[in-house]
A and B are shown apart, each in its own frame.
Chain A
């Protein structure tokens, strides 16, 4: 089936550094999402993105977070600066026009902030 790729699978960084998580969505998809899951806890919505703009974001999407998809390349989540509580698995998802409600997820990037 359609695949969403996330790079890297695991990232370890020091608190205060910047990190960029990369997502290669399904090729004809136009709606993009980031979710955050702390180990053993619920999957939480962060942000969704369409036509170059953030459509909606949750209170977990702090000012230190930003998303973009320059020129149809990777859909990225940047955190600058990182904090200890940002440690989690970040899942990217995408969906297609006409089937916006059917999400395809990547395998996640495990972010460890030390």
Chain B
């Protein structure tokens, strides 16, 4: 079964509104989670690194005020797309690094489809 759960799997929202996507590690503690965005027929693009108890680290070109990331506990990170626009429509996916792993265990969530109308 899944060890990283994302919710919602898909969401439709109106332009200008905000939407929150949750990423939970189910049976391990994740000090670090990563958020990716994937447009159709393209690869995964890293948006930011989410660290428990501290501010997220954003990749170049990603607006931190638009994509708010909160990692309030060792099992939950949230991505909030604020003032969404149609061009934000994409597949968003998180991954978690197990704090117990030797370094090669990265788990992916199931992904969330966002459509902004």
Whether chain B is bound by chain A comes out as: no
